[in-house]
Amino acid sequence: MSYERSIIEALDIASGEVLTADEVFKITKEAFALRTKSAKNEIDLYCLECQQQLNISGSKKDNLHFKHYPNANSCILKDSKFSAKELQVLSKIFRSKESSRHKSLKLLIGEKLARLSIVKNVFVDDRFIKDDREKRKPDVYCENGITKIVFEIQLSDLSLRYIIDRHEFYQRNGISLIWILDDFNINGQKQMERDIKYLTEYQNFFALDESSESFRLNCTYKYVHLTEQNQVRTKWVTKSIALSQLKFDEQTKQAYFYNYGAKHNQMELLKDRRIEKLRLKKIKEEKELKENHSIKKIEGLIEIIKSEWISEFPNLRQAKLTIQDLDEFEQDLFEKSDLFNSSKKESRIHLYFKKAKSKHYNFLDFLLSSQYIEPAINELSVNKTTLIQTLFENQYLEHKETWVKKIAIAGYKFQLVDFKLFNKLYLKKKDIEALILLCKLSGSIENPIFKKRLFEHQKLICTMESIKQNQIVGFGWNQSQWVAFANNAIDNYSKYWNHIESAFRIYGIWDDLLEKDTKGTFKKKLKSHNEFNTTYSREYDHLLSFLYPEAVKDPNQSFF
């Protein structure tokens, strides 16, 4: 196995010759003679890497090798272990530093920098930079204002280890490092070039622009752009730049002209903004398309309804189906249409009830009962009359009692002037009283289902309300007929007697009722009712609980 030396070459300062260990130590006698000269200081040997003096040291097997003195500063050849292949690469690097091309580039860079007014303290290959760990002698050193810069010229391949070592040393000492690559081909990047490129996010390559009389660098960088198809693409661009155009990363101490990482991020953001813009544009277009479709749909619906109004045999079935299928936007358009909105000449709902005839029954019922339409039924006409007044003024519209109830269920708020008109109805006085009572109660109810239920069982509601008011309403009896009233209730509304009896008790009439029952007719009916074990209906529990919460328990309330 051949002997592997960590330092395979040394520089003879006097002659300028590079001595190769494998050659000068090949013949033992000549090797030891050279060692004697070194010991007598007849030759000065220096490390090609750190430029520190070397001696020739031996081993137990007389294998001689170049070695740093014990008190030498740090050097990668002294402190690190390299493979034979890595040592060959380092040797090539060190030799390139002594080539005529390397020397001429150093001098040219130094001369051009020295002519710049913004640059001072230019040193070409004669300025050591030290710290507590090692020292380096860069090819060119200068100061640009407060920025310290070193230029390292590389004519041969560098290992990643070597690159990182240089980068970390100068970064540690607050100096920006610029690699000058002489033979650079962007299309055939060597490993060294890729290592330098990916060492930072900037991905800039530098070479001396020898065509310029002043100091300029040819910077090759990856330019980022966005295509018309909104794709982020890159291309390599080379541009001659002045020293003043360089920027310096204070953290990494990396010089750059074009910030690839930042530009790439900007383009990605711009790409995302374009995507978002296109998305919003598409949403807007789709919305406009849908809105135009909805407008045409509502216009068609309105025409159908208008045609049904003038038809001899109106049929609103298709219109009802269409309305049920309306979305929120279409519903809003429909409600704002001229079908329902009043003009300066007349309230729309008043106009319908003013012009309506018997054939328009379904049309008016459609307006009042549809859950998708909210006609302004409490709006006064231009003559300041109520909708009930308009209804009674129309002699062609029959069944006015039915329309009063429908208007009430639709949410109408009755006025005193409306109740006076009820005397024109073909009803008995007691039924008019009952209708007025229900209409008044409807004003206190918001739930349309409750309103409808209110008119479904007129006598039950009149019974409960009479007990609450302590005044018989809607039956045609006077105040002396409470026993007859109670007998009627227990006979005809036995399914709801549990609530009726509770009302008698809660509203303070029960004891008085029993006292007035001198003949015992009510007591007998009550006993018979209790013995029969009647099953009570819960059909109107929610409505009765709402109107008479003291007497009727809320069916949704927990038993406990």
C-beta of residue 364 within 8 angstroms of C-beta of residue 404: no
Tell me: do 188 and 146 sit in the same domain: yes
- Given this model, what pLDDT does residue 97 score? 60
Identify the pLDDT of residue 316. Answer: 86
Do the beta carbons of residue 217 and residue 207 sit within 8 Å?
Answer: yes
Do 140 and 226 share a domain, yes or no? yes
Residue 317 lies in a domain: no
Secondary structure of 220-232 as H, E, C letters: EEEEEEECCCCCE
Considering the domain architecture, whether residues 104 and 253 belong to the same structural domain is answered as yes
Which of the listed residues 258, 275, 292 is the one where a domain comes to its end? 258
**Is residue 63 assigned to a domain?**
yes
Q: How many Cβ atoms sit within 10 Å of the Cβ of residue 412? A: 21
Whole-number pLDDT of residue 288: 95
pLDDT tens digits in sequence order for the chain, 560 residues long: 456 787 888 888 777 788 888 888 888 888 888 888 888 888 888 888 777 888 888 876 778 888 888 888 777 777 777 666 666 666 666 655 668 899 999 999 999 999 999 999 999 988 889 888 888 889 999 999 999 999 999 887 667 777 788 889 999 999 999 999 887 777 766 676 677 666 678 989 999 999 999 999 999 999 999 999 999 999 999 999 999 999 999 999 999 999 999 999 999 999 999 999 999 999 999 999 999 999 999 999 999 988 988 888 878 888 888 988 999 999 889 888 888 777 777 888 999 999 999 899 999 998 898 888 888 999 999 999 999 999 999 999 999 999 999 999 999 999 999 999 999 999 999 999 999 999 999 999 999 899 999 999 999 999 999 999 999 999 999 999 999 999 999 999 999 999 999 999 999 999 999 999 999 999 999 999 999 888 999 999 999 999 999 999 888 765 44
Structure token pair of residue 226: 């966005």
- pLDDT of the residue at 26: 85
* CA 551 to each of CA 450, 462, 498, 506, 535: distance values in angstroms, whole numbers, following the listed order: 18, 15, 10, 6, 19
CA distance 427 to 33: 145
122: nearest Cα among 102, 148, 140, 147: 140
pLDDT value, residue 60: 66
Return the pLDDT at 182.
86
Task: Tell me how far apart the 2 most distant CA atoms of the chain are, in Å.
Answer: 155
User: For residue 383, what is the DSSP state?
Assistant: T
Give the type of residue at 154: Q
HEC secondary structure over 385-399:
CCHHHHHHHCCCCCC
Regarding whether 135 and 223 lie in a shared domain, the answer is yes
Q: How many CA atoms lie within 13 A of 373 on its CB side?
A: 25
Angle, CA of 431, 433 and 439, to the nearest 5°: 100
327 CB neighbour count, 10 Å cutoff: 11
User: Do 119 and 252 reside in the same domain of the chain?
Assistant: yes
CATH number at residue 181: 3.40.1350
The DSSP secondary structure of 216-284, one letter per residue, reads EEEEEEEEEEE-TTS-EEEEEEEEEEEGGG-EE-TTT-BEESS-HHHHHHHHHHHHHHHHHHHHHHHHH
Q: How many helices and strands, by DSSP H and E, does the chain display?
A: 23, 16
Residue 197, pLDDT score:
66
Residue 411's CB is within 10 A of a number of other CB atoms, namely 17
CA–CA dist 131, 173 (Å, integer): 7
Model confidence pLDDT, tens digit, residues 49-74: 777 888 888 876 778 888 888 888 77
Q: Are residues 20 and 124 in the same domain?
A: no
Where residue 218 falls (left for φ over 0; alpha for ψ -120 to 50; beta otherwise) is beta
Phi-psi region of 259 (alpha: psi -120 to 50; beta: other; left: phi over 0): beta
Cβ neighbour number for residue 232 with a 10 Å cutoff: 15
* Cα(554)–Cα(535) distance, integer angstroms: 18
- On whether residue 248 sits in a domain, the answer given is yes
Residues 268 and 261: their CA atoms lie apart, in Å, by 11
User: ∠488-489-494 over CA atoms, to 5°?
Assistant: 120
> 206 and 135: one domain?
yes
Residue with tokens 């953001």: 269
Nearest to 146 by CA among 258, 217, 250, 245: 250
Q: How far is residue 59 CA from its own chain's centroid?
A: 72
Residue whose token pair is 């560098």: 158
Q: Which domain holds residue 141?
A: 99-258
Q: What is the DSSP letter of 72?
A: P
The owner of tokens 């330019």 is: 223
Residues 6+ apart with CB under 8 A from 158: 89, 93, 192, 195, 196
The length of the chain in residues reads: 560
Same domain, 171 and 247: yes
Is 198 domain-assigned? yes
Write down the pLDDT at residue 340: 77
Residue 253 lies in a domain: yes
pTM over 0.85: no
Asked if residue 206 is part of any domain, the answer here is yes
Residue 254 is given by DSSP the state B
Q: Give the pLDDT confidence score for residue 297 in this predicted structure.
A: 93
Do 113 and 254 fall into the same domain? yes
On whether the CB atoms of residues 139 and 124 are closer than 8 A, the answer is yes
- Amino acid, single-letter form, for residue 175: I
Same domain for 105 and 242: yes
Query: What pLDDT, on a 0 to 100 scale, did the predictor assign at position 59?
Result: 72
* 110 occurs within a structural domain: yes
- 3-state class of 39 per DSSP? helix
Contact (CB, 8 A) for 129 and 174 = no
Q: Write down the pLDDT at residue 1.
A: 42
Among the candidates 210, 232, 258, a domain finishes at: 258
Pair 354, 403: CB distance under 8 Å? no
E strand spans, 34-128:
45-46, 53-57, 65-68, 119-124
**Listed residues 17, 50, 81: the one ending a domain:** 81
CA 471 centroid distance within chain:
64
Same domain assignment for residues 135 and 239: yes
pLDDT for 196: 67
User: Using an 8 Å Cβ cutoff, are 220 and 236 in contact?
Assistant: yes
Residue 229 in any domain: the answer is: yes
Number of domains in the chain: 2
Instruction: Clarify whether residues 169 and 67 are in a common domain.
Output: no
Residue 182 tokens read as 């002489």
